[in-house]
A and B are shown apart, each in its own frame.
Chain A
Amino acid sequence: MVSPRFLIGLALSFVMLLGIAPTVAFAAAAGGDHAHGDHIGHANADKEMENPAEIKASLAIWSLVVFLILMAILWKFAWGPIVAGLEKREAGIAENIASAERAAGDAKRMIADYEAKLAGAADQVRAMLDEARRDAEHTKEEIIAEAKSAAGVEHERQMRELRTATDQALKALSETFADQAVALAGRIIQEKLNAKDHDRLVKEAVAKFAQSPSMN
C-alpha cells in the first residue's frame, strides 16, 4: 500500500518538473544563441575551471581554519563537558551496580538470618510443645495416682467400717443366737437336764462360737 503522502509528493514533484522544464529548455535555447558560445559568468576561464580535481589554496586554508576553530570551540564547550558527563554517568552507573550488588548481598544475608531464626523458632515451639506434653503427662499421672490413692484409702476405710459393722452384727447375732439357743435348749433340756448341765453346755457352745472366725 502506497502512502497518500508519497503520492502527493510524487504528484508535486511531477508538477514542478512540468513547470521547470520549459524554462530550462528555453534558457538553454537562449544560451545557444550566444555568438561565441560564451556563457555569461564563464569568461576568462582557464582550464582549471572545469577540472574537478582543482585545489584552491584559499578554500583549503579556509577549511583548515574553520575546522580548527570549530574543534577549539567544541573542545572547550562541548567535547570536554560531554566527556566529563559521560565519565560521571559511567561512574554513576558503576556505583549503582555496586550498590545494587551490595544491597542484594545484604538481602541474602538477612534472608539467611531470618531463615535461621525461623528454624530456631520452630525448634523452640517443638521444645515448648514437648515440655507441655511432658507436664501434662506428669500432671495426669499425678492426678491418677492421687485419685488411685484416694480411692484406696476410701476403700480401706469402707472395708474397715464394713468389717466393724460385720463384727458388731456378728457379735449381736451370736449373742442373740446364743440366747435363743440357750432358751431353746433350756426348753428342751428343762425336761431332761438340771441347771448344772445346762450352764456347762451353754459355756462350751459360746466359747466355740467365739473362736470360729467371721465367715463374711
Chain B
Amino acid sequence: MASPILHIKDSYYFEVPAFMWRHNYESRDQVPEFLREAHPHATPEEFNKALDGKILIPQLPGVSLKNLYQSDSPLAISKFMILELVAAAIIAFIFIRLAGMIRTGERPKGKFWNFFEAILLFMRDEVARPAIGKHDADKFLPVLWTLFFFVLGCNLLGMVPWAGSPTASFSVTLALAAVTLGTGMICGVVKFGPVGYLKNQIPHMELPFVLALFLKPMIWVIEVFGLFIKHGVLGVRLLANMVAGHIVLLSIMGIAFSVEGAVSPYWGISAPISVFGATAISMLELFVAFLQAYVFVFLSSLFIGAAIHHH
C-alpha cells in the first residue's frame, strides 16, 4: 500500500471513486508518456486498473511529470493549484456580490449574506482593531479579510469529497505566512524607515550603557530569529492542523476500508463504527477549518500590529 500521506499531498490528478472515471487504454500508446516511460513493462490492463478513479490533470505542452505526485517542471499544474483557483473564484464571487448589496449602505438580506457580513465585521471589530489598534487596523482589513477567507476556503475544500486541502501543504501555508511577514515588514519599514524597523525589533529596556552594548545586539539577533520563527510557526500550525485532521479521518476510514478488515467477519461491526467516527471527526474538522482560519488571521493581526508599533 502506498503511504497515506500521498492522499493528503498535492498531486497531478483528482481522485474519485473508481466507477466514476474509468480508463480504457487498449494499447500502451494511449497511456500518458511519463507513465509509459516509468513502467516499461506494464500492460494496458494494469494501467487501466491502477488509474481508474484518477482524473489526470492535463498539463501544458512540454511539461513532463516524473510520476503522479512529482514533476521537475515548475509549470506543472497540480491539484492544489486548481483548488486554490476554485477557492479564490468562490470567494471573489461571494464578496463581489455582497459588495454590490451593501455598497449603498443598505443591509444585506438573507442568512447567507448576513453570515458573511457578520464574519467580516467580527474580523474587523474583534480581531483587527484590538490587535492592530483602531487607528491603523482598517488599512489592513483587505489583507486580513482575504487571508481569512482564502485560508478558510482552502481548509473547507478538504471537506469536499474528491477535492483536498491546499492548506495541508507547506508550500501554501508558508506562502500565506510570508504574506503576513511581508505585510508587517513593508508597513514597518514604511512607518519607521529600514533602520527604525530593524531597531524596533529590540524591546524597550532600561539598561546601563555597558550592559546594553553587549545585550542589545544579542537580543536583536534573538528577536529577528524570533520574527521568522513566529511567522514560520504560523504556517506550521495551519498545516499541522489540516494534516492531522485528514490523517485521523484517513485512519478511521481505514478501519472500514482495510483489506484485512474487509474480509474479516467483524467487518460488519467495525465498518459502521468507523463511519460514525469519521462523521464525528468530520464535524470536528469543519470546526477546525474555521478555527484555524481565525487563528491564522488573529496571529497575523498581532504580528502586523507588533511590526507597526513600538515595542
Contact = CB atoms under 8 A, between A and B. Distances in A.
A89 B102 contact: yes
Interface stretch (B47-55, B189-197, B218-226, B299-307): B47-55
Contact of A78 (B38, B92, B138): B92
Contacts, number: 208
B176 A24 contact: no
A58 to B, nearest CB: 4
Contact of A14 (B13, B174, B271): B271
Contacts of B47: 40
Interface stretch (B165-173, B198-206, B208-216, B283-291): B165-173
A16 to B, nearest CB: 9
Contact of B6 (A24, A49, A70): A49
B297 interface: no
Nearest to A50: B3
Interface in B215-272: 243, 256-257, 259, 262-263, 267, 271-272
Contacts of B91: 70, 74
Chain A to chain B: the 3 pairs with minimum beta-carbon distance, closest first: A43-B38, A88-B105, A40-B50
Interface of B: 1-3, 5-6, 8-10, 13, 17-19, 35, 38-39, 42, 46-47, 49-51, 54, 66-70, 74-76, 78, 80-81, 84-85, 88, 91-92, 95-96, 98-100, 102-107, 120-121, 138, 141-143, 145-147, 150, 166, 169-172, 174-176, 178-179, 243, 256-257, 259, 262-263, 267, 271-272, 275
27 contacts: A10-B272, A14-B275, A21-B262, A25-B259, A25-B262, A39-B2, A40-B46, A43-B35, A44-B66, A48-B70, A51-B5, A52-B243, A55-B171, A59-B81, A64-B179, A67-B147, A67-B179, A74-B92, A74-B95, A78-B95, A79-B145, A81-B102, A82-B98, A85-B99, A85-B104, A85-B105, A91-B105
Interface of A: 10, 13-14, 17, 20-25, 27-31, 38-46, 48-64, 66-71, 73-75, 77-86, 88-89, 91-92
Given A17-B271, A78-B92, 13 more contacts: A24-B262, A25-B259, A30-B49, A31-B1, A41-B35, A41-B69, A67-B146, A71-B146, A73-B96, A74-B95, A74-B145, A82-B102, A83-B138
